[in-house]
Amino acid sequence: MTTTSTRKPRSTLRPADRIFAGSTVIAGSLILAALAAVAVFLIAESIPALIVDPAELKGAPSSFWAYVGPLAFGTVWAAFLALVMALPISIGIALFISHFAPRRIAQGLGYIIDLLAAVPSVVFGLWGIKVLAPAVTPLYGWLVQNLGFLPFFAGGVSGTGRTILTVAIVLAVMIIPIITAVTREVFLQTPRLHEEAALALGATRWEMIQMAVIPFGRPGMISAAMLGLGRALGETMVVAMVLSPALVINFVLTGSQNPSTIAGNIALNFPEANGVDVNALIATGMILFVITLVINSIARIVINRRKAFSGAN
Amino acid sequence: MNSVLSRYKRLASIGAIAVAGTILLSSCAANEAGTTDPSAAASDLAGTIDGSGASSQGSAQEAWVAAFQTENPDVTINYDPSGSGAGREAFISGGVSFAGTDSALKQDEIDGGFAACVPDTGYIQVPAYISPIAVIFNVEGVDALNLDAPTIAGIFKGTITTWNDPAIAALNADATLPSAPITAVHRSDDSGTTKNFTDYLNKVAPEIWDAPAADPFPYQVGEAAQGTSGVVDAVTNGTNTIGYADASKAGDLGVAAIKVGDEFVDYSPEAAAAVVAGSPAGDTASDTDLVISLDRKTTDPTHYPLVLVSYIITCTEFVDAEVAPVVKAYVQYITSDAGQSEAASSAGAAPLSTDLSAKVATALESIK
């Protein structure tokens, strides 16, 4: 006993330790350097578009902000719609896996959900064009006919189903795996004692979930939603392929004229852009960079503030 | 929890970089040349030439490059479909040996000179790729449709909104047109197809189509879809839709006949080649500049005026003399019967007429 307690820990590092420590530091700083390089690139390349006479930009908008405004709106709007659809479903799946499903089914379902996250977005895009859009067109017709008094379904109905609602549905399918995976892990961390205490007090299983699981998991659910939102904001291929875009700001879900998103707009217009139009597209990319940065920062703040409970520390 | 959450957090920040990286890479992903076949017949030609420009020529260029490199194993040709404007800029600044462009060189571009060419030796501009544009439709119970330019302009501008509009009905006495609303689909990306489509409408029906020809679709009406295949797909899967696309991609869709003079002309490669052959020379034309001012207002019913003509621009005398024989042979191949039929089979282009082909061959002889 005495010998072990008096022995000093080794202070000299072996070369292997140094090399390993050094390489992890390099790896860690590399990602920061890459992020900084992207930021510098975006800012430097954006400046020409910001100072040029807006009449020289494509479509001659009144200012650069008039050009990026509808795109920024469409980006946030599509991601928000996707989140509204995906969040309840994801939480439902997560609760089913963590608290309702038999163990074997829960495991299998978990794998399938994770598998969904691995499907490339271009495949989702093809599915959106080929399957979803034609399938929802009659439904949109019905919505416009019967709920046309709501601003969401005002005006003419799209004849092809390539609306922002269709895009949002595809985006929702894409972010469900992320939100489900995170919330499932949070729900599984609910202290067993809380759950058993609730059940012992006579709560039904639903009441137990309301009293013990949901309050415990709320910060985790919020951060999961933010992460899903982050992915939806930056999604490019699905929007470029499925959406029928226009430079407009409106809340109509079923019309032909839909606000495009920043990422989708870049993908569509970059191949043929030249001169200052390239700078304009990069400048919109910078706006997207800022939007995603803000969203991710909020997510991080939420996680940090509640990390004592969320298990995310 | 830890691992899963942090994995996604990290993914989000990596995503931002990946998006930017994708943008950078996508501009040069398509210029990878096909592999050469070493067993093919040997030729004296050797070297690497770079071209860039119109993406409309992209798939034809891929086929040309593959075929030419098979014939000439020591030659490497790179074509970057970066867009017509970018291609002309790259050629003017000397970055590439030849450029493809949907819009002919402007006078001030010619006056400015070309960095790759020996000063004051002139340049070559020849038509290389003719692509007819079809007006495609998918309307219940309608197999054939006749349209004239003012009606097409009205449909795509949103002033004609239902299929049984009197303007359409007057042109289609035999058809039973539904009272359904029209869904007009245009390109959501910038495109030479849109530019030529709008140029046709602007020239023939200027009182309705008041926007000048341009790569982006000018009006905020109708639906938009990405690329030719996107438009074809939207028209196919939608209901009571109409759109415009490269004729070769129309597939089983109905294709409208366009009113030329007093007759309705169906699209055909011959009619498309005929309008190019029958059009007068453009403003900058010379022995080596075979620019064409497309006669959109033609009244000859053997002509189909809704076509896209894409040019190849290159030097007569190169500063870098080594590339001259390769460029010459390559452009000669492109505009030859073999090259044109290659483009017809791989990209659905309409071949150059014999007459025009001969003029092009003469012009190319001046490359030294």
Domains of chain B: 2-131+283-291+308-364 (3.40.190.10), 132-272 (3.40.190.10)
Q: Give the pLDDT confidence score for residue B34 in this predicted structure.
A: 41
- Residue A155 CA, chain-centre distance (Å), reads 30
Total residues belonging to chain A: 313
Q: Do B230 and A189 touch (CB under 8 A)?
A: no
**Residue A29 has what pLDDT?**
95
Looking at residue B36, its pLDDT comes to 41
CB B98 within 8 Å of CB B333: no
Write out residues 224-263 of B within 8 Å (CB-CB) of A. Answer: 224-226, 230, 233-235, 237-241
State the nearest Cα–Cα gap between A38 and chain B, in angstroms. 7
Assign B196 to helix, strand or coil.
helix
From the CA of A87, how many Å to the nearest CA of chain B? Answer: 16
The dihedral built from the CA positions of residue B84, A284, B221 and B239, taken in this order, carries a sign that is positive
Enumerate residues 6+ apart whose C-beta is below 8 A from B337: B351, B357
Beta strands at B47-53 and B75-80: parallel, antiparallel or unpaired: parallel
What is the Cβ-side half-sphere exposure of residue A56, based on CA atoms within 13 angstroms? 13
CB of B352 within 8 A of CB of B127?
yes
Q: Decide if A81 is inside a domain.
A: yes
- What digits encode the pLDDT tens for the residues A88-132? 999 999 999 988 888 888 888 888 888 888 888 899 999 998 899
Residue A80 lies in a domain: yes
Q: How far apart are the first and last CA of chain B?
A: 70
Question: What is the reported pLDDT for A250?
Answer: 86
Helix (H, G, I), strand (E, B) or coil at A139: helix
CA dist A141 and A173 (Å) reads: 23
Name which of B234, B232, B227 is nearest B255 in CA terms. Answer: B232
Best interface-test mutation with A: which of B2, B3, B5, B103 has the largest number of A CBs within 10 A? Answer: B5
| Position A176 pLDDT exceeds 60 | yes
CA angle B339, B340, B345 (to 5 degrees): 100
Domain residue limits at A105: 68-305
> How many structural domains is chain A composed of?
1
State the nearest Cα–Cα gap between B28 and chain A, in angstroms.
Answer: 10
- Domain annotation covers residue A41: no
Angstroms from A259 CA to nearest CA on chain B:
11
A23 burial (CB, 10 Å; 0-12 / 13-18 / 19+) is exposed
Helix (H, G, I), strand (E, B) or coil at A18: helix
Beta strands B223-225 and A245-246, pairing class = unpaired
- The two structure tokens encoding residue A274: 């030249």
What CATH number should be reported for the domain holding residue A249?
Answer: 1.10.3720.10
Task: Kindly state whether residue A265 falls inside one of the protein's structural domains.
Answer: yes
Q: Which of residues 138-177 of B touch A (CB under 8 A)?
A: none
Average pLDDT of the segment spanning A170-184: 92
Question: What number is the average pLDDT over the span A17-25?
Answer: 92
Helix, strand, coil share of chain A (percent; to 5): 75, 0, 20
Report ipTM (2 d.p.).
0.73
**Of the candidates A137, A121, A221, the residue with the CA atom closest to the CA atom of residue A172:** A121
Residue A14 lies in a domain: no
Burial class (CB within 10 angstroms; exposed 0-12, middle 13-18, buried 19+) of A257 = buried
B5 contacts: CB under 8 Å, gap ≥ 6: A182, A185, A220, A223, A227, A303, A312
Residues of chain B found within 8 Å of residue A159, distances taken between Cβ atoms: 181-183, 223, 238-241
The residue of chain A with its CA nearest to that of B212 is A59
Instruction: Quote the distance between the C-alpha of residue B90 and its chain's center.
Output: 19
Q: Is B89 on the interface with A (CB under 8 A)?
A: yes
Most confident of A32-41, A53-62, A156-165: A32-41
Report the chain A residue with the minimal C-alpha distance to residue B240: A159
Contact B241 A35 (CB under 8 A): no
The pLDDT of residue A10 is 62
* B23 → closest Cβ in A159, A270, A300: A270
Instruction: Name chain A contacts of B195, Cβ cutoff 8 Å.
Output: none
Phi, psi of B82 (to 5 degrees): -90, 0
B225–A244 C-beta distance less than 8 A: yes
Instruction: Tell whether the torsion through CA atoms of B226, B231, B233 and B235 is positive or negative.
Output: positive
What token pair was written down for B12? 């989000």
Chain B segment 201-230 residues within 8 A of A by beta carbon are: 215-216, 220-226, 230
pLDDT in 10s for each residue of chain B, 368 residues: 444 445 555 544 554 455 444 444 444 433 344 444 444 445 678 888 999 888 888 888 999 999 999 988 888 999 988 888 888 888 888 889 999 998 888 888 888 888 888 888 888 899 998 888 999 999 988 888 899 889 999 999 989 988 988 888 888 888 888 888 888 999 988 888 898 999 999 988 889 998 888 888 888 888 888 888 889 988 988 888 999 988 888 878 888 888 888 888 888 888 888 888 888 888 888 888 888 888 888 888 888 888 999 999 998 888 888 888 888 899 999 888 888 888 888 887 888 888 888 888 888 888 88
8 Å CB contact between A100 and A204: no
Q: Write out chain A residues lying below 8 Å of B158, CB-based.
A: none
Residues B118, A124: Cα–Cα separation, whole Å: 52
Say which residues have a Cβ less than 8 Å from residue A308's Cβ, sequence separation at least 6. none
- The yes-or-no verdict on residue A63 having pLDDT over 50 is yes
Mean pLDDT in residue range A31-47 = 92
- Quick one: pLDDT band at residue A1, thresholds 50, 70, 90? very low
B229: which residues sit within 8 A by CB, 6+ positions away?
Answer: B249
Whether the pLDDT of residue A312 is over 80: the answer is no
Contact between residue B127 and residue B348 where contact means Cβ atoms under 8 Å apart: no
Q: How far is A127 from chain B (nearest CA, A)?
A: 12
Judged by CB atoms closer than 8 Å, whether chains meet at A223 and B5 is answered as yes
Q: Which residues pair with B52 in a beta bridge?
A: B80, B99
Contacts B183 to A, Cβ<8 Å: 158-160, 256
Residues B232, B253: Cα–Cα separation, whole Å: 8
Q: Do A227 and B89 make contact, defined as CB atoms within 8 angstroms?
A: no
Using DSSP bridges, classify how beta strands B146-147 and B254-255 pair: parallel, antiparallel or unpaired. unpaired
Task: Please give, rounded to a whole number of angstroms, the shortest distance from the CA of A19 to a CA of chain B.
Answer: 24
pLDDT of A34: 94
Where does A61-213 have alpha helices with state H? 64-95, 103-117, 121-127, 133-147, 164-188, 192-200, 205-208
The structure's pTM equals: 0.78
Residue located via tokens 């495949």: A123
With respect to residue A3, please indicate whether it lies within any of the assigned structural domains.
Answer: no
Report if residue A191 sits inside a domain: yes
Whole-angstrom distance, CA of residue B223 vs CA of residue B236: 13
Residue A287 lies inside a defined structural domain of this protein: yes
CB spacing of A271 vs B181 below 8 angstroms: no
Q: Which of B5, B22, B226 sits opposite A268 (nearest CB)?
A: B226
Strands B254-255 and B123-138: antiparallel
- Statement: residue A59 has pLDDT above 80: no
For B291-312, the DSSP string reads -B---TT---TT----EEEEEE
Q: Calculate the average pLDDT of chain A.
A: 86
Q: Does B189 touch chain A (CB under 8 A)?
A: yes
Token readout for A292 is 């995603």
- Say whether A296 and B12 touch across the interface (CB within 8 A): yes
Show residues of chain B in contact with A134, CB under 8 Å. Answer: 237-238
How many A-B residue pairs are in contact by the CB < 8 A criterion?
A: 164
pLDDT at B354: 84
Q: How far is CA B180 from CA A157, A233, A298, B152, B176, in A?
A: 11, 36, 48, 17, 12
List C-alpha distances in Å: B172 to A267, B143, B148, B175, B236. 40, 11, 11, 6, 22
B109 touching chain A per CB within 8 A: no
